[in-house]
């Protein structure tokens, strides 16, 4: 049984850039705070309205502890709204590509992953072949605004090729 997720703008934008929004389809639910929804509509206006799986979640007030952490780590309104929503729910996963938001989520004991994890998970879930995911990862710098250092990305691709038995170096 998959868990419900709360999704920040980063993974939605990056998955859309990689034609991979469908990778969110097997989660129990995908909650997107209204402020994040508005951000996506601004940057990727064609992405969300066409995707039947995704709907905006109502805004939840941020509790004082979460608010203090969000301010301390300079999180934006979307990230804070995600964490506020997560604080009201148990056993819910946070999807974000922002390092500071991940740090805050960790402090709040929230399970958190990013676009990279979603792409690799697609193989385990049978949604993509390993070759497809390698190809997506290799094209990531040219197709997506997701930032990952070239060296780190090359290491990941090499590790995945070894894990999946795909010959060749990246």
Partner 1 sequence: MTTLKVELPDQLREQLRAFVAQGWFSSENDLVQEALRRFLEARAPELAARFVKEDVDWGLKGND
Which stretches of the chain bind partner 1, using CB under 8 A? Answer: 2-3, 72-74, 93, 99-100, 102-103, 113-114, 116-124, 148-149, 152, 156, 159-160, 163
Q: Is 111 left (phi over 0), alpha (psi -120 to 50) or beta?
A: beta
Task: Decide whether 50 or 149 has the Cβ nearer to partner 1.
Answer: 149
* Residue among 2, 48, 45, 3 nearest 21 (CA): 48
Task: Decide whether 1 or 52 has the Cβ nearer to partner 1.
Answer: 1
CB of 124 to partner 1, least distance (A): 7
CB of 103 to partner 1, least distance (A): 6
CB of 72 to partner 1, least distance (A): 7
Task: Decide whether 39 or 98 has the Cβ nearer to partner 1.
Answer: 98
Task: Decide whether 23 or 32 has the Cβ nearer to partner 1.
Answer: 23
Task: Decide whether 41 or 111 has the Cβ nearer to partner 1.
Answer: 111
CB of 59 to partner 1, least distance (A): 22
* Residue 24 CB burial class (10 angstroms; 0-12, 13-18, ≥19): buried
CB of 58 to partner 1, least distance (A): 25
144's CB contacts (< 8 A; 6+ apart) are 14, 17, 18, 115
């Amino acid at each position: 049984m998959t868990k419900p997720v709360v999704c920040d703008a980063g993974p939605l934008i990056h998955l859309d850039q990689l034609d991979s929004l469908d990778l969110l389809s097997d989660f129990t639910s995908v909650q997107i705070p209204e402020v994040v929804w508005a951000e996506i509509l601004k940057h990727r206006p064609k992405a969300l309205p066409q995707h039947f799986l995704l709907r905006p979640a109502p805004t939840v007030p941020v509790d004082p502890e979460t608010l203090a952490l969000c301010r301390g780590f300079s999180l934006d309104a979307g990230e804070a709204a995600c964490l506020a929503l997560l604080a009201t729910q148990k056993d819910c996963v946070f999807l974000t590509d922002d390092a500071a938001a991940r740090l805050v989520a960790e402090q709040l004991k929230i399970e958190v992953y990013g676009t990279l994890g979603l792409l690799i998970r697609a193989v385990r879930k049978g949604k993509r072949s390993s070759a497809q995911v390698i190809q997506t990862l290799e094209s990531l710098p040219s197709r997506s605004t997701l930032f990952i250092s070239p060296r780190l990305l090359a290491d990941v691709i090499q590790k995945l090729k070894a894990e999946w038995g795909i010959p060749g170096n990246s």
